[in-house]
Amino acid sequence: MPIHTYIIRGLVSLKPESKYKPQLICYETRLLPKKVEMLKNIELIFGKSELDPLQEIEVVEVEGGIYGTFENTMVEVKIVGEFEDITTLLPYVLYRYNL
């Protein structure tokens, strides 16, 4: 099962004196399940935090969950792009997972 994780590398390069541009990086990780349990009828409780850039997105429905033990292998790292000004992108890229 491949998982793509997007992060920003080079946040220090947001400083005006830096010669490096911030980069959007995609990590591809493969998961090998060792023990997996499907969860039904679960309840998630989300606390409020002003530091959470995605708190304005409402959770409509929880369909289920997975609990398990996995062996992770990082397969590939790609530079998706370099940015002059990524401040508008920051709230939406941190800890985003595509399954």
- pLDDT tens, N- to C-terminus, the chain (99 residues): 788 887 777 655 455 666 777 788 888 988 888 999 998 888 877 777 777 767 777 778 888 888 899 888 888 889 888 887 767 666 665 554 444
CA distances from 73 to 33, 68, 70, 93 (A): 11, 16, 10, 22
Instruction: Give pLDDT, residue 98.
Output: 45
Q: Residue 16's pLDDT is what?
A: 62
Contact (CB, 8 A) for 84 and 28: no
Which pLDDT score, from 0 to 100, does residue 83 have?
Answer: 80
What confidence score (pLDDT) does residue 34 get? 92
Longest dimension (CA), the chain: 52
pLDDT value of position 69: 93
State the Cα–Cα distance between residues 84 and 14, nearest whole angstrom: 8
